[in-house]
Amino acid sequence: MTPSLKALDARSDGLIARAAEIAKFQGGKKDFLDLVVPAKLELDRLFVLGLGTSAKYTESDWLALGGRIRARLSSGKVTAADVLLERTDGEPVSARNAALVALGAILRGYDFRKYKKKKKKENGEEEEDLDTLSSLRILYQNPEDATAILENRSGVAEGILLARDLVNEPPNVLSPEEFASRVSALSSSGLEVEILDQKALAEIGMNALLAVGQGSVRPSCVAIMRWTGAADRDEKPLLLVGKGVCFDTGGISIKPAAGMEDMKGDMGGAAAVTGAMLALAKRKAQVNAVGIIGLTENMPSGTAQRPGDIVTTLSGQTVEVINTDAEGRLVLADIMWYGQERFHPRAMITLATLTGAIIIALGKDHAGMFSNNDALAEQLFKAGGDSGEKVWRLPLNEKYDKLISSKVADMKNVGGREAGSITAAQFLQRFVMPDIPWAHLDIAGTAMSAPATDINRSWGSGYGVMLLDRLASEFYES
């Protein structure tokens, strides 16, 4: 039988209660009590974490609790621990919430250190890992129920950790070809994967995407992932489209040197789509979904595209390139059109670290959302609130659209300093086919260099995976 804190206190002759009183432990959300070798308990250590008003907890709160538990255990160099979840109002913690605590602990354990050698101590031994935890058990009265939910959610965790890995990888390692190779490896999880190489892209007519990458010695490519999980295999799919600029110097319109190293994360949209597709496959989601990512590098060279160039996109529309650093929208324009033309989706979501302007507008707590469809926008808003990956809708209208009109082409790729995120979305909207519900998520502030949270201490957050998985599960699964 799962013990209670009250029973443990009784066995210790009231030691826990006395320690809590002395430490002024009130059980608040951030309160913490640490007892080493508590008397009459066969425990090396007892951690007590407050829950606060757990009746008001959201899914994000239970995930965060799991992260806080792991952080405390790791800071204490604990190798194995059992966790007892107990609400002060006497109500049991649900199996779902117990599974979320476990998932939060898994996500908090992520640490991208593959290129970092361990330092040597004075005695010549290597330093211990920062996180020594190797075993964590959640004590629960009906473990089968919680385990089943965790097994389902573990696929989402795998998708998040994959997205973090991709964003964190250095650009000399994660070239477009290497990214495509890692996507191809996901076929072992049940995804159908297709890679379109540079020659195929030229034959198809993805001239805008190819123009972005023409200054790099590394060839561009497109990766297509398909998951067919709906009862009706012919049901129109949910289309997820991601920008995968593996490194963005800005091209001829080169960026300032300070902070340019962060542009290894300019493929955060592609990482989110890849992680989300893996999550759907891992949990065998009852939905048809297609993920398309455009993989390229934006480099300056004698072959790079120039400001003033005019490119003809796959849609046939022409674009005057004013600024080569506004390259992500060119990548998306071609793969959006290709995805709609080939797969006839029921809805399309585009994700990209598209503009710095979105960080000025919303900071790093919300992704910017733009949509041509109120119902889809509401679905994403709810999915964002439920998953903790929040979005905020910004406007699209004809006046903003006029800002990207060109005198010599169908449009230009920038609209000036004002409303930079909006004009970027207006550009994308020109490549949405009639009657296709579409939403764009500008994740520049949330996918990379995002603030540390209870479930993530990594530079790459994996933002978008939970959001897209929740969107699919709540609104598109059969």
- Do 178 and 242 share a domain, yes or no? yes
CA distance 356 to 299: 19
Give whole-number Cα distances, 6 to 15, 88, 274, 353, in Å.
Answer: 11, 10, 46, 50
DSSP 254: P
- Do 325 and 352 share a domain, yes or no? yes
pLDDT 10s digit of each residue in the chain, 478 long?
A: 567 788 888 888 888 889 888 988 888 887 888 888 888 888 888 989 888 888 889 999 999 999 999 999 998 889 999 998 988 777 788 999 999 999 999 999 999 999 988 776 666 666 666 678 899 999 888 889 999 999 989 999 999 999 999 999 999 999 999 999 999 999 999 999 999 999 999 999 999 999 999 999 999 999 999 999 999 999 999 999 999 999 999 999 999 999 999 999 999 999 999 999 999 999 999 999 999 999 999 999 999 999 999 999 999 999 999 999 999 999 999 999 999 999 999 999 999 999 999 999 999 999 999 999 999 999 999 999 999 999 999 999 999 999 999 999 999 999 999 999 999 999 999 999 999 999 999 999 999 998 899 999 999 999 999 999 999 999 999 8
329 is catalytic: yes
Answer for the pair 9, 17: CB distance below 8 angstroms, yes or no: yes
Contacts of 132 (CB under 8 A, 6+ apart): 74, 77, 78, 79
Beta strands in 197-277 (DSSP E): 221-228, 238-248
CA distance 417 to 362: 16
- Do 173 and 317 share a domain, yes or no? yes
Q: What tokens were used for 130?
A: 């920062």
Answer for the pair 214, 202: CB distance below 8 angstroms, yes or no: no
| Final residue belonging to a domain, choices 92, 116, 149 | 149
Which helix (H) or strand (E) covers residue 441, if one does?
strand 438-442
- Do 306 and 175 share a domain, yes or no? yes
Burial of 317 (0-12, 13-18, 19+ CB in 10 A): middle
Answer for the pair 265, 284: CB distance below 8 angstroms, yes or no: no
94: left (phi over 0), alpha (psi -120 to 50) or beta: beta
What CATH number has the domain bearing residue 271?
3.40.630.10
- Do 351 and 388 share a domain, yes or no? yes
Candidate list 329, 390, 412, 470, residue with the active-site label: 329
CA distance 26 to 6: 15
Across the strands, what pairs with 298?
248
- Do 245 and 262 share a domain, yes or no? yes
- Do 141 and 232 share a domain, yes or no? no
pTM of the predicted model over 0.85: yes
- Do 182 and 62 share a domain, yes or no? no
Q: What values do phi and psi take at 293, rounded to 5?
A: -130, 135
CA distance 65 to 50: 9
Beta strands in 93-237 (DSSP E): 135-139, 192-196, 221-228
Which helix (H) or strand (E) covers residue 17, if one does?
helix 15-22
- Do 356 and 442 share a domain, yes or no? yes
Across the strands, what pairs with 222?
196, 294
Answer for the pair 152, 285: CB distance below 8 angstroms, yes or no: no
| Final residue belonging to a domain, choices 124, 149, 174 | 149
The CA R_g of the chain, rounded to the nearest whole Å, is 25
What CATH number has the domain bearing residue 64?
3.40.220.10
SS3 state of residue 351: strand
- Do 121 and 159 share a domain, yes or no? no
Contacts of 37 (CB under 8 A, 6+ apart): 43, 44, 45
- Do 98 and 191 share a domain, yes or no? no
Beta strands in 275-413 (DSSP E): 288-298, 310-312, 318-320, 347-352, 367-371, 391-393, 411-412
Residue that is written with structure tokens 């598109």 in the block: 476
Domain that holds residue 65: 5-149
In this prediction, residue 124 carries a pLDDT of: 62
- Do 156 and 142 share a domain, yes or no? no
Q: How far is CA 169 from the centre of its chain?
A: 15
SS3 state of residue 251: coil
| Final residue belonging to a domain, choices 97, 114, 149 | 149
What amino acid is encoded at 455 in this protein? Answer: I
In this prediction, residue 55 carries a pLDDT of: 83
Residue 469 has a CB neighbour count (10 Å cut-off) of 27
Candidate list 255, 364, 382, 430, residue with the active-site label: 255
- Tally the domains of the chain: 2
311: Cα within 13 Å, side-chain hemisphere:
30
In this prediction, residue 125 carries a pLDDT of: 64
Q: What values do phi and psi take at 45, rounded to 5?
A: -160, 145
